[in-house]
């Protein structure tokens, strides 16, 4: 068992799959010699060389066009889009080509590729470099979407994503890059579409994703000290979505709170609420509650950004208010 940072786990996860399968290659802007702008791919060029680890021009369209072509020929590319915000300049390739071409060719062409991107706020990068875009992606048929919250999940879910026959958007939480966690020795392989129950409680279920997972866990500890015993679920995968685990836990506690680093309108939590109300309405003891960012561009100013993103304190206050009504 080793302790790794989230960013170290990225390099280990990619290297694990490149050692296992010679068809796996890695490309992106400054990912080779520089080791990535967030230093998440350090050492890959030294081990695998410039044929399999390739620096690209500053062109998201070129990166994903090359990755799509490589996947069509039988390779398994991992492509990096530096900030998830930059999907905005290459979204046509993702949505209208990568996501749809297997369907439109009746399965004659497959696209086993992974697109990595640094996602989310909290680092004072401003509105154009701090968005959480998982809501964009989960609305597109043909894409799988995963968001790991721990170093072990980074490696395990990366393995699952690389080995999957469909395109996977692998969104890494920038605010979690320096965080540490234990990772098992040897090969680590997980499964897409499985949520994880991190804490079991009797009174309410907190459902969180990415950077909101450690905040929801910390909030649950505080709430427990005050007599409100909370389950915490790490969603991990939005597409496929583990509705079985979520519905079972919400039915057991009778209350659900989603914790989302997304603008409130049309967030992934809204989809979960609709599923829970449709499938488990009579198991609920109160209305589901969404804890989100406001529907605003994320501020760069420290105090304003901290106010916009759900904090441990806001989670605790919101749950206490709802549970005591």
Which residues are known to be catalytic? Answer: 129
Q: In the 8-state DSSP scheme, what is residue 129?
A: S
- Tell me how crowded residue 4 is: count the other CB atoms within 10 A of its CB: 21
From CA 82, how far away is CA 39, in angstroms rounded? 11
Residue with tokens 């920038």: 174
Query: What does each C-alpha distance from 197 to 201, 230, 246, 283, 312 come to in angstroms?
Result: 10, 11, 9, 19, 19
Tokens of 209: 């994703």
E strand or H helix that includes residue 3: strand 2-5
**Full strand arrangement of the beta sheet holding 204-208:** 196-199, 230-234, 204-208, 256-263, 289-293
CB 205 within 8 A of CB 256: yes
User: By C-alpha distance, which of 116, 98, 129 is closest to 27?
Assistant: 116
Give the list of residues 6+ apart from residue 289 with CB closer than 8 angstroms, or none. Answer: 256, 257, 258, 318, 319, 322
User: By C-alpha distance, which of 320, 259, 258, 249 is closest to 283?
Assistant: 249
């Amino acid at each position: 068992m080793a302790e790794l940072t989230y960013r170290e786990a990225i390099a280990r996860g990619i290297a694990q799959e490149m050692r296992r399968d010679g068809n796996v290659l890695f490309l992106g802007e400054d990912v080779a010699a520089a080791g990535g702008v967030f230093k998440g791919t350090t050492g890959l060029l030294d081990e695998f060389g410039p044929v399999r680890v390739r620096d690209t021009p500053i062109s998201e369209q070129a990166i994903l066009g090359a990755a799509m072509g490589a996947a069509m020929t039988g390779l398994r590319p991992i492509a990096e889009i530096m900030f998830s915000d930059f999907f905005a300049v290459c979204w046509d390739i993702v949505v209208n080509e990568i996501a749809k071409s297997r369907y439109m060719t009746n399965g004659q062409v497959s696209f086993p590729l992974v697109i990595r991107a640094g996602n989310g706020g909290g680092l004072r990068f401003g509105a154009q470099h701090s968005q959480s875009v998982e809501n964009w992606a989960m609305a597109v048929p043909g894409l799988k979407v995963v968001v790991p919250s721990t170093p072990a999940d980074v490696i395990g879910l990366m393995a699952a994503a690389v080995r999957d026959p469909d395109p996977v958007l692998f969104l890494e939480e920038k605010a979690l890059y320096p965080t540490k966690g234990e990772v098992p020795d040897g090969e680590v392989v997980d499964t897409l579409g499985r949520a994880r129950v991190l804490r079991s409680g009797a009174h309410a279920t907190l459902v969180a994703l990415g950077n909101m997972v450690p905040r929801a866990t910390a909030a649950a500890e505080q709430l427990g000290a005050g007599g409100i015993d909370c389950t915490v679920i790490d969603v991990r995968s939005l597409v496929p979505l583990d509705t079985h685990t979520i519905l079972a836990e919400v039915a057991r506690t009778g209350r659900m709170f989603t914790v989302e680093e997304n603008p409130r309108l049309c967030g992934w939590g809204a989809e979960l609420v609709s599923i829970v109300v449709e499938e488990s309405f009579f198991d609920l003891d109160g209305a589901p509650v969404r804890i989100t960012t406001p529907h605003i561009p994320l501020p760069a100013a420290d105090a304003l950004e901290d106010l916009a993103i759900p904090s441990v304190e806001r989670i605790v206050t919101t749950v206490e208010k709802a549970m005591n009504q």
